[in-house]
A and B are shown apart, each in its own frame.
Chain A
């Protein structure tokens, strides 16, 4: 691109200057968020059943072996878990923020639209019908493992199937937020009914596997799985960022957006596809982690506003922070056991949500 000398820069008036200051503040929020996230990352690695001082954590991370044992703990257990929390939190939050925008509904999230339920049904179905156990357990011998990957793949397929059904109905009845949400809610109850049906006929071991699977847990992912989740999340985030102006336009109403040249239906269908894909891959590998996708966007909105130029990144940071803190807390709460993080996020989720509703402006 040719850089044209900018004659006009000096002429920006008072309003533009104040506007630049206004957006400048948002960059500051984002930078401080990233900084805080980094501090939390180090702290989270250092806390656990074996405490490693933060300085030593930094040394190990920069490639200096402080102790072979710590090396192994950090590189094989803590770091993948912490990074998974960061990526999954960001992924779930970004799916939530995009769904809230394209569905024009503050309750839009992968969880409310039944995508998580569909994945849980897929996992239960896999355990029951295909005879696979659960994915690897952080509690060692709690669950029989026969084929961890089949469960994941089937869960993934069902999560995507739910999305495809929602989109297909929308095509048929018109790509409006109402149709999408109602079909999503219907899908959610259908799949949870299916899961209950399977659970009723499951034997002890199968039931344990199914229930265990639904407890979302970021310690499940290995490095290669983390890489896959990261790749898909990153790809979608880049797409979402390219569409950020369009989401702002849709926030102003479908007709305003159309008048601004936005193909609203297309943005809606593609956004749903990408957001669902991110959710599906995270849920399939880690299990159901509720409320992050719903709440983190709203927390970010409070700080940074509804402008998707900042909100997308802001929500991701908020999601990462929340899941990282929750996972760290879950790790040390009932030492020596590790609580699956989903138990904690669901506990935190409800009161936080009510607080957000009561605490001032509408969501």
Chain B
């Protein structure tokens, strides 16, 4: 197990947002957190790397308690890609180089530069390496964000709605990239998703949140139209089309 989450509870002021969250994730697996707007998907993701501090519970990454680690130590183990990455007058190379921060002391080393170059090549971003990110499209910016998290050399990638506000081609490209990285780099990934079909296509495991807690979890075989109807309040049917499960509202 690369990740073991047990009994996580989170409160915002006195409002309970998450309770009794428990799940596990293996190496090279992609987990999608699903559920309606405002159910706490992003909150749960942020509890994983202690950007938000859970009130109770444990988050173990390779048997180490994340909540007891220093922020920089967490950053060495978990790469986080927020929904939006703010553009600045930096080149993509500079922006990805930031991913080396948790590992660097006073300045970048030759090794850091080489890791960044390596990451750029892996994600086929060669052409945009020296372009300024404030001149990039949403999809390109998102790729830079993912590249940054990969340059962090993490054990687990956390992606907050990686495909929101992207067109179809970019959605597929981004998720292909994530999938490839997870297969090749010996990492795992957790992402929050709105698009069920994309989630089905790219993840190994699913976590449905309802009313601040896990309503259902499992792999593709465990997902039934009933679960989706209960969680989203919409009756659906799940069809199989060329080995891909597709959700259709009815």
Among A22, A256, A263, A362, find the residue whose CB has the most chain B CB atoms closer than 10 A. Answer: A256
Known: A15-B129, A253-B84, A262-B101. A361 touches B51 (CB 8 A): no
Interface centre among B73, B74, B76 (most CB of A within 10 A): B74
> How does the 8 Å CB contact mask read for B141-172 relative to A, with 1 for contact and 0 for none?
00001001100100000100000000000000
Scan residues 241-255 of chain A and give those whose CB is less than 8 A from a CB of chain B: 242, 245-246, 248-249, 251-253, 255
Say if the beta carbon of B104 comes within 8 Å of chain A.
yes
Residues of A within 8 A of B222 (CB): none
- Please tell me if the beta carbons of A301 and B89 are within 8 angstroms of each other in the complex: yes
Tally of contacts, chain A with chain B, CB under 8 A: 119
B113 within 8 A of A: yes
Inter-subunit contact B80/A255 (CB<8 Å): yes
Inter-chain CA distance A258–B74, complex, in Å, is: 10
Nearest CB on B from A250, distance (A): 9
**Quick one: given A18-B130, A256-B80, A260-B152, are A251 and B86 in contact (CB under 8 Å)?**
yes
Other-chain contact of A252, B72, B86, B121 (Cβ < 8 Å): B86
A253 with B82: CB separation less than 8 A: yes
Q: How far is the CA of A12 from the CA of B76 in the complex (A)?
A: 24
* Residues of A contacting B106 in the complex (Cβ-Cβ under 8 angstroms): 242
> A1-27, CB under 8 A of B: which get 1 and which 0?
000001011011101101110100000
Give the residue of A12, A246, A253, A261 whose beta carbon is less than 8 angstroms from that of B86: A253
Which of B74, B82, B85 has the most chain A CB atoms inside 10 A of its CB? Answer: B82
A306 touches B89 (CB 8 A): yes
Give the contact-size bracket for chain B: 35 or more
CA distance in complex: A249, B151 (Å):
14
Contacts of B79 in A (CB 8 A): 259
- Chain A residues closer than 8 Å to B80, beta-carbon distance: 255-256, 258-259
Instruction: Kindly state the separation between the CA atoms of A15 and B147 in the bound complex, as whole angstroms.
Output: 15
A174–B18 CA distance with the chains assembled, in angstroms: 22
Q: Does B7 contact A (CB under 8 A)?
A: no
Q: Inside 8 A of B98's CB, which chain A residues have their CB?
A: 245, 248-249, 252, 256, 260
Contact A307 B85, CB 8 Å, known A8-B111, A249-B101: no
Instruction: Let me know if B117 and A256 touch, CB within 8 A.
Output: no
Contact of A19 with B71 at beta-carbon distance under 8 Å, contacts A251-B88, A258-B51 already known: no
Task: Type the 1/0 row for B129-142, where 1 means its CB is closer than 8 Å to any CB of A.
Answer: 11010100000000
A19, B91: Cβ atoms under 8 Å?
yes
Q: Which of B51, B81, B117 contacts A16 (CB 8 A)?
A: B117
Per-position contact with A for B192-233: 1 when CB-CB < 8 Å, else 0?
A: 000000000000000000000000000000000000000000
Is A305 located at the chain interface by the 8 A CB criterion? yes
Find B117's partner among A15, A255, A306, A362 (CB 8 Å cutoff): A15
Enumerate chain A residues within 8 angstroms of B113, measured Cβ to Cβ.
Answer: 12, 16, 19-20
Query: A305 near B89 (CB under 8 angstroms)?
Result: yes
Q: Which residues of A contact B81 (CB under 8 A)?
A: 256, 259
> Which of A6, A9, A259 meets B51, CB within 8 Å?
A259
Whole-angstrom CA separation of A9 from B129 in the bound complex:
20
List 10 contacting pairs A-B, 8 Å CB cutoff, sorted by A: A8-B114, A15-B120, A16-B114, A245-B104, A248-B94, A256-B80, A258-B80, A259-B80, A261-B73, A262-B71
Known contacts A15-B120, A305-B91, then 11 further A-B pairs from the complex at CB < 8 Å, ordered by chain A residue: A13-B121, A22-B91, A22-B130, A252-B86, A256-B86, A256-B98, A259-B49, A260-B99, A261-B72, A261-B102, A262-B101
B interface with A by C-beta (< 8 Å): 46, 49, 51, 70-76, 78-82, 84-86, 88-91, 93-95, 98-99, 101-102, 104, 106, 110-111, 113-114, 116-117, 120-121, 126, 129-130, 132, 134, 145, 148-149, 152, 158
Q: Which 3 A-B pairs have the closest CB atoms?
A: A259-B80, A261-B75, A261-B72
